[in-house]
Structure 1
Amino acid sequence: MSAPVPSSAPLHPLRIANFRAYWLSRFAGTIAVSAQAIIIGWQVYGIARETMDIRGAAFMLGMIGLVQFVPLFLLTPVVGLVADSVDRRWIVRGTTALLVLNAATLGLLTWSGNLSLPALFSAAVLIGIARAFSGPAYAALAPNLVPKESLPTAIAISSIAWQFGTVAGPSIGGLLYAIHPDVAYGVISALLGLALATMLLIGKVPQPRAQKDRRPIQRILDGFSYVRRNRLVLAAITLDLFAVLLAGATALLPIYARDILHVGASGLGFLAAGMGIGAATTAIWFSFRPMKSNVGVKMLTAVIVFGLAILTFGVATQVTEALGVTRIGADGAIRVDFVISLVALIVAGGADMVSVYVRTSLIQLHTPDAMRGRVSAVSQLTISASNELGEAESGLLASLLGPVGAVVFGGVGAIAVTLLWSRLFPELRRARTFDPPDMLDIEPQHGVAQP
């Protein structure tokens, strides 16, 4: 298949019109989805606290993550094949339209006073379905928009859109919700509409030819087989899975904001933006200074730093109370544990971005274009397992150990998993650059390309 753009084209991705439209679509969509996520979490926790204690409400927060994960888990074998067989632009367009309708419906229910836990859980299921289809299509579309040599930079710039969206989204969502819930949902719907409009601007791009000589079930299994056989890709995907599954603390932020740090909805917005601030700063750095050496060791180190930062976030209140230093400022208006918690989340976000950057680059550069949809679907499954299923795990542990115990357990677990993976997968530890070995075209008789 021909290259996405001629070799004479500008190397910087933002000089390519299709990529600019892609970037803006992802930026607007991420802001909207991040803002909606924090609002849904706040609404679920608020409604649950009317009839439940903290641990019971924490469990309900965790279940929001679970109901988003289940449809993605069930659909993963299908969505990757769809992304490799159907125009990826139209997959993203269709799922974005679904998200627009979903956000508008929640806004209407909020405005009419009919919002309930079943409505919020139903909305979460629809978000999970939309993300199941859009994730592999989005990931597989980006390499079709830029030259191969520009892909690491494109990944960093694309990550900026995502990370800035996660920074701005919670803050915008919290601020607009404080003004009025109707305003918040109106802006979210408009941003999703912008994401849809810009995706419609992307012109025709190369699409790998579907393997008509292979049955769909065989093609589905090819994606899983390729990941299993390419140990470097397998190591990168599974390390992120288990580290974030254990140490993901975002589901518990409403609990920390309301009942531990006592900073309310405005403080929740800052906490939710913390990881995005660190990640966006790191992504900007990589967009100008792409990582070129010792990529495997840097990923392992970053995940350990991530675990330490989450651990710090978890015990900030206990440490400051034990030291007797709880407030600073002339009038004692600033809580020290809140400042420490925010800084810890910023560090965690920066470390997580290093892991994301390495993992995404390895997957995209080590996977043939004809299989990117299916391999991206496998990657998305692990990412969703670490995020949404991690939220369920955090909620369950918080209901058993308390919020602080759950976060501490996760931070320690992430560090332990990283040390174990460095021994189980020496390929990751020895990875020096992103340069993949020469890849053969997919051979129908064997099912997958040889890594």
Structure 2
Amino acid sequence: MDGKLKYKKSTYHLYTFLVSKMIGSLGSSVYTFGISMYILSMTGSSLSFATNLLFSIVPRTIISPIAGLIGDKVPRKWLVLGGQAGVILTVSILLLYTWTAGLSLPAIYVATLFNSIFSSFSSVAFSASISNLVDEERLQKAMSFNQLSLSVSGIGGPIVGGMLFGFASMEVFLLVFISAAIITLLLESTMNFTLYKKPVVASAQKETMLQSFKAGFVYLKTKPVVRAILWTALWLNLFFTCLSVGIAFVLLTNLKFQPQLIGFIEAAAAIGMLITAIYLATRSNLKFPLVVVKRSTLLMAISVILVAVPLLFSWSNTVNFIYYLVLMFVAGGFGVTTNTPIGVIMQTSVDEEYKGRVFGIVEMMAMSMMPLGTLIYGVLYDIIPAQYVLIVSGTILIAIVLILLRGSVIRMAHPELEDKRKMNILEEVEG
């Protein structure tokens, strides 16, 4: 395929990727909202809600590295489409069960379990394939489109779900999700997952699955920058849970905000994500992406500390509302300026034959910290004043970023910065 045709196909992938991700994420967000509200209204139990959450998180944590390993051995398009088909089949069976026997809690748990397993294969394989779908010059735009779709679903999912939940049955929620998943499957089936795939040197030695899995970790040892990003992401996911668990707790329990106002504040973060994703999608590639990651994560850590400020002073409800509205809007933007460059670095730094395993490890590390962080902070907020939890967590986050993304790591990622520094020193000496 000549250059013009490849570029044209890459453009098609870019916008098909945006539409498919947006539809799929929105459908999933509406479904998740409806199921969550159904469980809480049916049982009135936060334990039942948390159990469904565990059935979603734990399988992804276990399956992701296996999905990545398989993605390095078989065509990733098969895994993407197969995983998506598995999700459609799972929710379709749940719909049929609901029509015949009525929706029940065990049926929801089973559907959530299989949904999580199938979506793990699809998600990991797709993430590892982005650099094969789009030319390197537009990788930042592709990663920004991914953040854009997540922000749209974050805003639209609860709105659409809230409108439907008042007067529509759960079957409608299931049909919305199935319809969105089918459209996503059809769009992804038109993509060429090997358009920009680099040739892979075949190994002369036949590896077992265990040897191949270990090879992924051995490979990470040869990539200090990628390894630093992974460890940073691991600890950030643990300590940033203080915000996802604590913001609603602070607003509702400490400051006595109405639920409607809390909804506006949480939506502000999604709007901040949306605007920042659009900005990054329209601008040229960042020159030093890891520098941007370090600065934005430091600002996000400072944002965690700033959440505690109204708890230390007696401000009016109006001032508090405006303060948190602005803070969450900015924090949402920082999240995009962290995740987008990380995505670009991972896509360009990891060799093709290891991408599946590395992205599987990334997802495993990210997902494993969520239940642990939720448990830890759920206990801490009950026994320690929220302002102290937030200030200490924010301080730890700043230390993590400064240690794991220290200057030597930045210079390894961007050697030209070291050359520039040496030139400045030389000019100073000569001058």
> Considering only aligned residues, what root-mean-square deviation do their CA atoms show, in Å?
3.6
1:16 and 2:8 matched: no
Q: 2:301·2:397 contact (CA, 8 Å) conserved in 1?
A: no
- Whether contact under 8 Å (1:19, 1:142) holds in the other structure is no
Please state if 1:213 is matched with 2:205: yes
Query: Contact between 1:67 and 1:125, CA under 8 Å: does it hold in 2?
Result: yes
Per the alignment, residue 122 of structure 2 pairs with 134
Percent identity for Structure 1 against Structure 2 = 21
Contact 1:307 1:415 in 2 (8 A): yes
Residue 409 of structure 1 aligns with an amino acid whose one-letter code is V
* Match 1:82 to one of 45, 62, 70: 70
Matched residue type, 1:198: L
Q: What is the TM-score when the length of structure 1 is the normalising length?
A: 0.76
Which whole-Å CA distance do the structure 2 matches of 1:189 and 1:405 have between them?
44
1:221-370 → structure 2 map (5 Å cutoff): 221-248=214-241, 249-250=243-244, 263-264=258-259, 270=264, 272-313=266-307, 318=311, 322-323=314-315, 325-326=316-317, 328=318, 337-370=320-353
Moved more, 422-431 or 152-161: 422-431
Name the SS of the counterpart of 2:364 in structure 1: helix
Displacement of 1:28 in angstroms is 1.2
Distance 2:103 2:327 in 1: 34
Distance 1:184 1:76, change over 3 A: closer
Residue by residue, what CA displacement relative to the aligned partner does 1:109-137 show, whole Å, maximum 9, x if unpaired? 77789545444433332232123212221
Could you tell me which of 177, 190, 202 is aligned with 2:191?
A: 202
State the SS of the aligned residue for 1:205. Answer: coil
Are the aligned partners of 1:251 and 1:391 in contact in 2 as well (CA < 8 Å)? no
Aligned counterpart for 1:191 among listed residues 164, 180, 183: 180
Q: 1:416 aligns with which of 376, 380, 396?
A: 396
Distance change in 2, residues 1:255/1:419 (3 Å): closer
DSSP-derived class of the 2:79 partner: helix
Per-residue CA distance 1:416-439 (angstroms, 9 max, x = gap):
23423422443444367599xxxx
What are the superposed Cα offsets for residues 329-356 of structure 1, whole Å, 9 maximum, x if unpaired?
xxxxxxx655544433322221111111
Unaligned runs of 5+ in 2: 417-431
Where does the alignment leave 5 or more consecutive residues of structure 1 unmatched? 329-335, 436-451
> Distance in 2 between the 1:345 and 1:373 partners?
33
Deviation, structure 1 residue 380? 1.5
- Runs of 4 or more off by more than 6 Å in structure 1? 108-113, 252-260
8 Å CA contact 1:422, 1:429 repeated in 2: no
- SS of equivalent residue, structure 1 residue 85: coil
As a proportion of its length, which structure holds more helix? 2
**What is the identity, as a one-letter code, of the residue corresponding to 2:220?**
V
- Aligned residue identity for 1:99: V
1:98 aligned partner: 86
Conserved 8 A contact 1:91-1:133? yes
CA deviations over 1:238-278 (Å, ceiling 9, x no partner): 212211322234467776787775644x6675455443322
Residue number in structure 2 paired with 1:441: none
Deviations 1:263-317 (A, max 9, x none): 44x667545544332222212111122453443332122123223334545675x
Residues paired across the two proteins, number = 408
Letter in 2 for 1:18: H
Are 2:290 and 2:342, in contact at CA under 8 Å, matched by a contact in 1? no
